[in-house]
């Protein structure tokens, strides 16, 4: 997309408006032309209420100037409008793309918002090595190889990788581990890898296996099975019974995979199935990923409906925001028609680099796929609404138990994790009316050099300082929902006092905080709750609010401990060669192949190091100086 032409900003340096609502919009219409573009509606505090696109700005905006015929949602929006802003573009497609970018950036109240904009994992066959590695991949496609996906979840990828290891026995180890092996690992012993690292399979034979795995991921499993059967028969005729038995096991594993893949449409090779169900002002969008005639899982989304948007608007907004950072497939099947279907196809095709068809099937296999997705959306929304009702009761009970002015919309729970002060990590989880808000979870590596190992008070102070210093910088006027209504601290009176002290220093004194301590005998159910200026209190053992707080605390424990373990594991797996200046992947592999381990490299002399291919005299001296503290 080329940069849009920006028209003179009609809302720049606005004067106090004499007009409001319909009359104000009519005044703007009188000065608009028929260019395509994007318009914004703002309230008296300059907050963006709505972002919309138009093929013809004058015609589109004039609809809002009418005094009747609007839904309750649009009528409210018009009544709050005090200013408008306009950007013109060369084409309507550019307007659509710009609209979605502005919606994601500004998050207007009356627009449909996709709140869970997660990335999806792929399977990568890394072909940067003579013996390609197969692994899970997220993010930019910077590695040379074949990518297959997206999969709906990490669990779906792991299941498929598990099948591939059983059938094709491809390696999943890193290049460094591959280079350092002197004998087969456990994966070879359990028949999950063909051990190319120690020459148990030739490069040519391994390459044929990689090609078979690619064909399997492209949906050609039946052809592979037939070829394996022919090879097994040939091996049996040649009295190569061990090879025949290995091929028989691969065929059996492949058959098991085919039986366990679930819904596998015969007539749809590649598609995303998008179904929407709305009820009680809430919406659930269910997306099924079909690739290579296989179902690669599904994921549900719960977009914010902009205070009552219609189905067509919700699903069109979802498509624009969902595919903003993802490549669209060649076919998208919808449960509901959208207004600008041709425009959406053009926009998605331009980003994906191939033709994209959007359809609303009425009969046949495609309609069955949509109906299945629609049923899942309906059931998922029903479960969510039931959970939301229960969550609302818990939040109301929490407010009553601790004298809060209203049920909290955002609860932040903090915890630290470390082992005698090492690899210290601070964690924050977030919860609200919709349950755990996992996209809002955060973790911090404790950086305080002056902290005494194991100083929990100091660690908590650092975490709170970093968290709220950033909030004060990014949103000092608290216009967003990033500010908490309640802080839960894992600890007693001392922890609460430490947090209160740092909050007062930063000028944040109006957020209630509660410390959760184990209480007598550190017994579950006897928790004591500590607040500034109040005596410790407890809740009855059978109180649902007590169970809810325990769940929040346990989730914070899980999150912080998981972050600590990941940091500890990374430190344990760190290779000293990674820190040597000038040592990249190729030289590291050569050193490990020559010496067998990083420890052996550290003991080698300069004359031994220069014997390694790719290590010059100067580099050998650099390595020797690094390990002998001469840098």
- For position 581, which CATH number holds? 1.10.150.20
423 with 554, same domain?
yes
| Best CA proximity match to 323, nearest among 294, 285, 364, 296 | 285
286 vs 315: CA distance, rounded Å? 11
135 with 197, same domain?
yes
Buried b (16+ CB within 10 A) or exposed e, 573-609: eeeebeebeebeeebbbbbbebbeebeebbebeeebb
Domain containing residue 427: 411-561
- Measured CA to CA in angstroms, residue 20 lies from 44, 58, 63, 71, 76 at distances of 10, 18, 15, 18, 12
Residue 435 lies in a domain: yes
138 with 101, same domain?
no
Q: Is 103 exposed, middle or buried (0-12, 13-18, 19+ CB in 10 A)?
A: buried
- Measured CA to CA in angstroms, residue 232 lies from 240, 242, 248, 250 at distances of 9, 10, 7, 10
3-state helix, strand, coil in the chain (%, to 5): 45, 15, 35
| Best CA proximity match to 575, nearest among 180, 185, 183, 137 | 180
Contact, 549 vs 488, CB < 8 A?
yes
| CATH for 419 | 3.30.420.340
360 with 302, same domain?
yes
Per the structure, how many domains does the chain have?
A: 5
The residues that bridge with 415 in the sheet, in sequence order, are: 427
Residue 58 lies in a domain: yes
Residue 450 lies in a domain: yes
Q: Which helix (H) or strand (E) holds 384?
A: helix 364-402
147 with 186, same domain?
yes
335 with 208, same domain?
no
The residues that bridge with 278 in the sheet, in sequence order, are: 283
220 vs 256: CA distance, rounded Å? 15
Residue 326 lies in a domain: yes
423 with 532, same domain?
yes
504 with 602, same domain?
no
pLDDT at 511: 92
Q: Give 556's contacts (C-beta < 8 A, 6+ positions apart).
A: 413, 414, 415, 427, 428, 429, 488, 490
What's the average pLDDT block by block, 10 residues per block, for the chain (631 residues)? Answer: 44 58 90 93 91 93 90 90 93 91 89 81 90 89 86 83 84 88 89 91 90 80 74 82 75 60 71 92 91 85 83 92 90 94 92 93 93 94 86 92 92 82 82 88 79 70 89 86 91 87 90 84 71 88 88 90 78 71 83 83 88 89 80 46
Tokens 């581990």: give the residue: 177
Residue 8 lies in a domain: no
64 with 29, same domain?
yes
219 with 281, same domain?
no
Residue 15 lies in a domain: no
Peptide bond into 150 cis (omega under 30): yes
| CATH for 358 | 3.30.420
Report H helices in 48-197: 57-65, 72-80, 92-106, 154-168, 175-180, 186-189
Q: Mark which of 63, 91, 111 sits at the end of a domain.
A: 111
Contact, 300 vs 286, CB < 8 A?
yes
Q: Mark which of 62, 80, 111 sits at the end of a domain.
A: 111
Contact, 228 vs 140, CB < 8 A?
no
431 with 518, same domain?
yes
212 with 77, same domain?
no
| Best CA proximity match to 498, nearest among 451, 538, 537 | 451
The two most distant CA atoms of the chain are separated, in Å, by 95
DSSP 8-state class, residue 363: S
27 vs 35: CA distance, rounded Å? 17
Q: Mark which of 536, 561, 586 sits at the end of a domain.
A: 561
Contact, 15 vs 66, CB < 8 A?
no
Contact, 293 vs 269, CB < 8 A?
yes
Residue 158 lies in a domain: yes
Residue 7 lies in a domain: no
φ and ψ at 329, to 5 degrees? Answer: -75, 180
Contact, 349 vs 325, CB < 8 A?
no
Number of other CB atoms surrounding residue 550 within 10 Å: 14
């Amino acid at each position: 997309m080329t940069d849009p032409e920006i028209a003179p900003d009609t809302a720049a340096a606005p004067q106090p408006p004499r007009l409001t609502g319909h009359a104000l919009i009519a005044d703007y219409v009188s000065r608009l032309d028929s260019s395509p573009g994007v318009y914004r509606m703002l309230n008296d505090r300059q907050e963006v209420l709505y972002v919309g696109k138009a093929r013809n700005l004058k015609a589109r905006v004039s609809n809002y100037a009418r005094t009747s015929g609007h839904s309750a949602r649009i009528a409210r929006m018009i009544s709050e409008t005090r200013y408008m802003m306009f950007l013109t573009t060369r084409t309507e497609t550019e307007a659509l793309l710009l609209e979605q970018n502005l919606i994601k950036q500004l998050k207007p109240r009356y627009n449909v918002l996709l709140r869970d904009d997660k990335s999806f994992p792929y399977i990568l066959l890394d072909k940067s090595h003579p013996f390609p590695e197969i692994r899970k991949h997220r993010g930019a496609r910077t590695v040379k190889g074949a990518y297959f996906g997206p999969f709906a979840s990490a669990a779906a990828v792991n299941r498929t990788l598990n099948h591939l290891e059983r059938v094709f026995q491809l390696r999943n180890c890193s290049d460094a581990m591959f280079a350092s092996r002197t004998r087969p690992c456990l994966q070879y012993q359990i028949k999950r890898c063909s051990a190319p690292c120690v020459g148990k399979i030739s490069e040519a034979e391994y390459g044929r296996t990689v090609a078979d795995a690619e064909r399997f991921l492209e949906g050609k499993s039946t052809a592979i099975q037939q070829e394996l059967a022919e090879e097994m028969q040939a091996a049996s005729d040649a009295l190569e019974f061990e090879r025949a038995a290995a091929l028989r096991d691969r065929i059996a594993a492949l058959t098991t995979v085919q039986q366990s893949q679930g819904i596998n449409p015969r007539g749809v090779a590649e598609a995303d199935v998008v179904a929407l169900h709305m009820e009680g002002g809430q919406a659930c969008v269910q997306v099924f990923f079909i690739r290579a005639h296989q179902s690669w899982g599904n994921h549900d989304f719960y977009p914010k409906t902009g205070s009552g948007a219609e189905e067509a608007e919700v699903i069109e907004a979802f498509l624009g925001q969902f595919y903003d950072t993802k490549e669209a497939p060649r076919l998208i099947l919808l449960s509901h028609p959208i207004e600008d279907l041709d425009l959406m196809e053009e926009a998605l095709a331009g980003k994906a680099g191939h033709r994209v068809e959007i359809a609303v099937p009425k009969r046949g296999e495609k309609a069955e796929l949509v109906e299945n997705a629609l049923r899942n959306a309906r059931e998922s929304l029903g479960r969510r609404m039931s959970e939301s009702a229960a969550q609302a009761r818990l939040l109301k009970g929490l407010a009553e138990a601790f004298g809060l002015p209203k049920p909290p919309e955002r609860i932040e729970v903090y915890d630290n994790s470390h082992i005698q002060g090492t690899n210290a990590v601070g964690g924050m989880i977030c919860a609200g009316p919709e349950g755990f808000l996992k996209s809002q979870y955060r973790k911090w590596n404790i950086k305080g050099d002056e902290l005494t190992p194991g100083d929990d008070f100091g660690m908590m102070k650092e975490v709170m300082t970093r968290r709220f210093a950033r909030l004060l910088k990014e949103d000092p006027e608290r216009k967003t929902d990033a500010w908490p209504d309640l802080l839960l601290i894992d600890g007693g009176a001392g922890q609460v006092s430490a947090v209160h002290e740092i909050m007062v220093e930063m000028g944040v004194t109006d957020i209630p905080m509660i410390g959760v301590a184990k209480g007598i005998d550190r017994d579950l159910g006897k928790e004591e709750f500590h607040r500034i200026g109040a005596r410790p209190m407890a809740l009855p053992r059978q109180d649902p609010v007590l169970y809810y707080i325990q769940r929040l605390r346990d989730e914070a424990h899980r999150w912080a401990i998981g972050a600590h373990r990941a940091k500890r594991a990374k430190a344990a797996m760190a290779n000293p060669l990674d820190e040597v200046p000038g040592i990249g992947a190729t030289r590291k592999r050569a050193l490990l192949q020559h010496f067998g381990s990083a420890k052996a490299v550290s003991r080698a002399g300069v004359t031994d190091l220069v014997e390694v291919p790719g290590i010059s005299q100067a580099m050998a001296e650099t390595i020797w100086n690094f390990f002998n503290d001469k840098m």
